[in-house]
Amino acid sequence: MSFQRTQEKLKILADAAKYDVSCSSSGSKRANTNKGLGDATGMGICHSYTEDGRCVSLLKILLTNHCIFDCAYCVTRKSNDVKRAAFKVQEVVDLTINFYRRNYIEGLFLSSGIFKSADYTMERLVAVAKKLRLEENFNGYIHLKSIPGASDELMREAGLYADRLSVNIEIPTEAGLKKLAPDKKREDFIKPMVKVKNEIIQYNAEKKIIKSTPKFAPAGQSTQMIIGASGENDFQIMQTSNHFYKSYNLKRVYYSGYVPISYDDRLPQIGSAVPMLRENRLYQTDWLMRFYGFDVSEILNEQHQNLDLDVDPKLSWALRNLHEFPVDVNTADQRMLARIPGLGMKSVFKIINARRFRKLNWEHLKKIGVALNRAQYFMVCDSNQFEKRDLTSEKIKGLILQNSTSKYQKMLSNQLSLFG
């Protein structure tokens, strides 16, 4: 490995890969049974964090940033004037192994620009994973990109070596895709996703009968959408997200606030702010859907097409549904506890366990870690002190905002003045 050549390629191809936000390294079940290198059985580990506060868990690089497509939102698009480079298969293998041995990373996240054809590209991604598994005895985590349009055979092979596969739909609606990436078709994204989904279903069925069935993408598949590039509202975004979770059994949908990288007038201009607060609210909604028992239509619907920026989506839902409150924490079921603003799932489980021993009062709840500044308006406990005034939702919202400082305060006032 020539150090200087590799160094230059690494700089270019890591820089080009960084807009993919997926960093998860958990959920696989690949144990180190062959006295080889690595183990991907536990929870994911973030080995470091970049200065933008994002986790560094995998060596995230492109195999090449040569690309035959010209998607407006992408830094690697054909018409963009950037330095191009391509790794050899062996170079990626050496980097992964040596970074892993030093405990820098959990594994490899390999994506690529599309050169020549979808299959030609996918074949090379698979070659890297295959070499790592079969020649290097590597049991760390491998996340491969499914290249839109890749053949079923290649997708099947990819799943045998990778822990996770993902294909980024990037643009939440077909209309948006048509505008920003006219030479790409929605079906091309869906095809590999369907193949992987079906293979996983088949694997799970066969596994029940034959225990030694080779693993197939044990950490499942994920996708990513760019936020704020093509004018969709939050309702449309979360509808799409919900559809992908339900129809393709995705493990994760990632939301990536658009970072302006182009003077193309179809897109936000360079220098405009990354919609980080909006991105955060979308993730909160995603969590409410997946872990808190909410249906997406409770949070976003025809009447509420966008999430509030000044309060979190659960509080916003609660303020619209005051008739459901107050909830008695000593008797309520898990579903209703999870709906109280200021209560996370950890606190919910603690409450359910702790109330078996004695009735809980404000002091207990505070110590357990409940955010009472929000929760107090929505619950009663073993105390005769509780909110007795008949407050309107505007009044409650005002009181909560008055008594808390959002970490997004600065951003919030900027964004609001934009709309004001």
Partner 1 sequence: MQAKNLIYDGTFDGFLSTIFYVFEHKLKTVTIQNEFTVQQGLFSENESIPTDEVKANRVWKGIKSKLSSHGSYQLYYAFLSEDIGVEDLLLDYIQYAFSQQKKVDKDYSHPSILKIAQIAKSVGREKHRMEAFVRFRLTKDDIYFASIEPDFNVLPLIEKHFKRRYADQKWVIYDIKRGYGLFYDLETVELINMDFPENFNVTKTDDTFFATQEFEFQKLWQDYFKATNIASRKNMKLHIRHVPKRYWKYLSEKQPN
For the purposes of burial, counting CB atoms within 10 Å of the CB of 249, is it exposed (0-12), middle (13-18) or buried (19 or more)? Answer: middle
Distance in Å, CB of 224 to partner 1, minimum = 14
Distance in Å, CB of 164 to partner 1, minimum = 18
**C-beta closer to partner 1: residue 43 or 209:** 43
Distance in Å, CB of 169 to partner 1, minimum = 21
Distance in Å, CB of 57 to partner 1, minimum = 9
**C-beta closer to partner 1: residue 61 or 162:** 61
Q: Which of 30, 9, 10, 27 is nearest to 214 (CA)?
A: 30
Q: Break the chain down into helix, strand, coil percent, rounded to 5.
A: 45, 10, 45
* Conformation bin of residue 175: beta by default, left when phi > 0, alpha when psi is -120 to 50: alpha
**C-beta closer to partner 1: residue 76 or 316:** 76
Distance in Å, CB of 114 to partner 1, minimum = 22
Q: Which of 52, 23, 25 is nearest to 38 (CA)?
A: 25
Question: 218: helix, coil or strand?
Answer: coil
Distance in Å, CB of 82 to partner 1, minimum = 13
Beta bridge partners of 145: 166
Distance in Å, CB of 354 to partner 1, minimum = 4
Interface positions with partner 1 (CB under 8 A): 3, 6-7, 10-11, 14-15, 17-19, 31-32, 35-39, 41-42, 45-56, 59-60, 95, 98-99, 101-104, 137, 257, 259-260, 274, 276, 350, 353-354, 356-358, 360, 364, 367-368
**C-beta closer to partner 1: residue 32 or 334:** 32
CA atoms within 13 A on the CB side of 354: 18
Distance in Å, CB of 3 to partner 1, minimum = 5
**C-beta closer to partner 1: residue 30 or 124:** 30
Rounded Cα gap, residues 352 and 333, in angstroms: 8
144 φ, ψ to 5°? Answer: -110, 145
Rounded Cα gap, residues 198 and 193, in angstroms: 9
Consecutive H or E run containing 69: none
Distance in Å, CB of 305 to partner 1, minimum = 26
| Count of Cβ atoms closer than 10 Å to residue 160 Cβ | 16
Q: Which of 26, 57, 55, 53 is nearest to 42 (CA)?
A: 26
Rounded Cα gap, residues 338 and 314, in angstroms: 10
Cβ-Cβ contacts under 8 Å for 72 (sequence gap 6 or more): 180, 181, 262, 264, 266, 267
**C-beta closer to partner 1: residue 47 or 156:** 47
> Would you mind telling me the total number of residues written for the chain in this entry?
420
How is residue 358 annotated by DSSP? S
**C-beta closer to partner 1: residue 310 or 382:** 382
**C-beta closer to partner 1: residue 368 or 399:** 368
CA atoms within 13 A on the CB side of 55: 13
C-alpha distance from residue 394 to each of 96, 313, 320, 397 (Å): 54, 15, 10, 5
**C-beta closer to partner 1: residue 41 or 233:** 41
**C-beta closer to partner 1: residue 330 or 373:** 330
Distance in Å, CB of 271 to partner 1, minimum = 9
Vertex 20 angle, CA 95 and 154, to 5°: 70
**C-beta closer to partner 1: residue 238 or 411:** 411
Distance in Å, CB of 97 to partner 1, minimum = 10
